[in-house]
Structure formats: C-alpha cells, structure tokens
Structure 1
C-alpha cells in the first residue's frame, strides 16, 4: 500500500474506529488549542506511528492553528531497529527528529524489579526535556483505551491503590509542559487491524531486558481482562467507568496526590 492509500484509510474504512475516536478524545478532554506546539513522541511501535498520522490528519482538517514535530529517542537501538523506524517514517511521510540517550544501557545494568516502568519514566523525562528545548508546550503519547483500562487494574492488583491513566496531565518537573493522549478512546484491536490493512511491520522495542523476560505484569493483566470479558462483554467499559464515577462517601479512604490521607471516619465522627 502506498502513502496516499494509507492516508485514505483514516478517512474511509478506519474513520469511525480511529479518526473519529481520536477527535472525540481531543475535544472532550480539550487536548489541543490554538497556538500549541506539540511534540509527537515516536517510539517506533504501531501506536505512536498511528498517532502521528492521525494528528497530521487533524492538523489538516480541524481548522485549529497548531504545529507538530515528531521526536524519536534512540536509547541505544541496534542498527536494524533504528533503520526500521526511519524507513516506516519515510514511507508514511513523518519527518522524525532523532535524539540519542543511553537509556537501554542504564536499564540493562539496573536491578529494578519493574524495568519497563523505570524505562518509561526515564524516557518521558528525556522527551519532555527535548520537546521543551524545541519550543513545544505539549508532548503526545500513543497510549490507547486498552492501556488505560489495564493501568486501572494494575494499580489495584499490584499497587494497592486506585489510579487511572489520565488523558492529559501537567508535568511536575517541566514548567508549562503538558502530556496528552489522543488515542484514549481507540481500541488496540483497531490499531492492529489498521497496521495489517496497510501492510506495515514493526520491530520490538529493542530493550535487552524485556527480550529476556517471558512476561510482564501488564501482559498478565491483559490476559485477565480478556478472560473476564469472555464472561461479561461490558467488563472493559466498566473498568474505565469505575474511575470516572468514584463516590468518595463510599470508600475507606482517599488522598489527593501526596497530600494528607483522609479516612471515612473523619466525616463519620464529625
């Protein structure tokens, strides 16, 4: 499939499942405003590449005056991984700017219990920094609906707390910088269908640690959600709705960020 045919898929057969859902998230969560300069973060995987194409499409047709750049962090990729990302970007007309770090070396020498979490945290810091240097006020990541619901269960089952992957947030360490997730309502299966239709190929992230591991906590949660969904098709929607409809009068305790913990007894005894 050539470049023009791939772009047409977003306005034809994948309009409802990909483009419309992305526009819905952008508008509902007020992600993009006039004058924004957004760094679209390209990991080299299918989600970030699709995000780049959808934001290019939105920039073209939305009528909102904003600008895009496309940042890719080379954290120590092998030559073939780097070349594959460059080739995909070229085919899809995505003008990617690479910058180098040594994240993969650090992770491979680190004894962290959850290396993928540490890697994601480090990568985000580098991306914020590079985006800010280039005059951006926002970074866009390719997390989708499935990532969001998996995060809810991860926080409950392995973290002992209730947390959501928010569609947008303000950086605590980089002044006036925000993070947005325009694919928030997009399903992973629809991303995969688009990739297969467009005959695109993607390589693993190239991390020497993740390649040694047969599984991750997120993969375990993905399997759990699939098994629960076989019993109740509403499971996935209910997981996300659960963090939209929290009744603080019916929880044992809560806090905002790192603020003081509040117990239901505070109000009960007053």
Structure 2
C-alpha cells in the first residue's frame, strides 16, 4: 500500500480482477475491471510503459496473474493484501479524520460559548429577543455564501435552536451561481466540518452575465 501511494498516478495501471459485482461495490480509484482469464491469454492491450498493479480481494490470486503478465513482457506486480486491506486502511484514515474534524467542531462551537460569548453570541441573542426575530413554529432560512459571515450566522442560529425554549426550524440554503468544482467543494467541505446541512440550488448566473 505504501509503495503504491508513493508512485505517480500516471506511471501506474490498476487492474482489478474481481468479478463485476464486487468491482461495482467498490475498488481503488482509477482501477479498471478486467477478466483474469482473458488477461492470461493476452486478450488486452496493456500499457507497456506503466507498472501494472494486479488487484484481487486478498492479494493471493493476483500474485499468479502478475507473474503471468511478466512472462508476457509487462512490468507487473500484485497488490499485497488486495482490495480488503486497501479498504481497511481507507476506513481507518476516514475514522481518524472524522475524529479530528469532530474535535475541531467542538473547539469552534466552544469558542462561541466562551471566547466570543460577549463579543458575538450574547449580542446576537439580545438582537433576536429585542426585535422579536424568532417566534414559535418559525421556519428560518439561513443563506450560505460560503464566507465567514454566513457560516458564523449558521452556527449562531444552531446554538440558539439548541438552547431555545420554544421550537423552530432551520434550513441552510446555498445558491450556486456557476462555481467551478473546486470552489463549490470548499463550501461543501466547510459546511460538512461545521455540521451545517446545506441545500444547494444551481443557476447559470455566471454564464448569463459573462458578456455583460
């Protein structure tokens, strides 16, 4: 796993020889599902300038196939531990990342209750009460732009709902005017970290005003 992770993606060809049903349930990113019998018989044109990494469930069947491909003239190896070990490592990483994110969220929410209580949280609650902004049964839409102000507003309303004495609903709306994939992903990841459940609706505003 470590050796594979260290290799540039453009130098590796991932070949998953498990059956189609297993492959559809999950595989390594970029892997292609090829029939092992046809591979042994030379039925595929594989890239000769790449390292062919053969993947099976446990890393045993793929050993023999990699040897066969080397006899055909390819540079081929088997992934030790197979898909099962790769999936286990992936789940371990995701669990560790989730725990780290949860700790960050606790620090962020804790800062609103402690560090910024007088500067932000208390003044927010006072304004809500003074101007009667929230009433029992209200459904409040928080418009999320992805910036600091709207994310802070979202967390303040979540804190208010958590400690308020009467029920009200919250929805968090984000209008996508035509963001590129990276910008939208940043908003999605920040919202996920902060436990703000976003509802996106897409428009073509950027495209519409491109020539204006």
Q: Using structure 1 for the length normalisation, give the TM-score.
A: 0.40
1:69 is matched with which residue?
Answer: 171
Greater C-alpha radius of gyration = 2
Secondary structure of 2:141 counterpart: strand
Aligned ranges for residues 203-214 of structure 1 at < 5 Å? Answer: none
Match of 1:5 among 107, 121, 124: 107
1:53 is matched with which residue?
Answer: 155
Larger RCO: 1 or 2 (CA < 8 Å, sep 6+): 1
Q: Which runs of 4+ in 1 moved over 6 A?
A: none
1:230 is matched with which residue?
Answer: none
Aligned ranges for residues 158-237 of structure 1 at < 5 Å? Answer: none
Secondary structure of 1:69 counterpart: strand
Aligned residues: 110
Separation in structure 2 between the aligned mates of residue 25 and residue 104 of structure 1, nearest angstrom? 35
Secondary structure of 1:34 counterpart: coil
TM superposition shift of 1:23: 0.8
1:29 is matched with which residue?
Answer: 131
1:227 is matched with which residue?
Answer: none
Match of 2:198 among 81, 84, 96: 96
1:42 is matched with which residue?
Answer: 144
Are 1:85 and 2:192 an aligned pair? no
CA root-mean-square deviation: 1.1
Q: Using structure 2 for the length normalisation, give the TM-score.
A: 0.50
Structure 2 unpaired stretches of 5+: 1-102
Separation in structure 1 between the aligned mates of residue 162 and residue 176 of structure 2, nearest angstrom? 28
Separation in structure 1 between the aligned mates of residue 153 and residue 174 of structure 2, nearest angstrom? 13
TM superposition shift of 1:108: 2.8
Separation in structure 2 between the aligned mates of residue 19 and residue 70 of structure 1, nearest angstrom? 19
Structure 1 unpaired stretches of 5+: 111-270
TM superposition shift of 1:53: 0.3
Secondary structure of 1:2 counterpart: helix
TM superposition shift of 1:104: 1.8
Separation in structure 1 between the aligned mates of residue 206 and residue 117 of structure 2, nearest angstrom? 36
Separation in structure 2 between the aligned mates of residue 80 and residue 14 of structure 1, nearest angstrom? 31
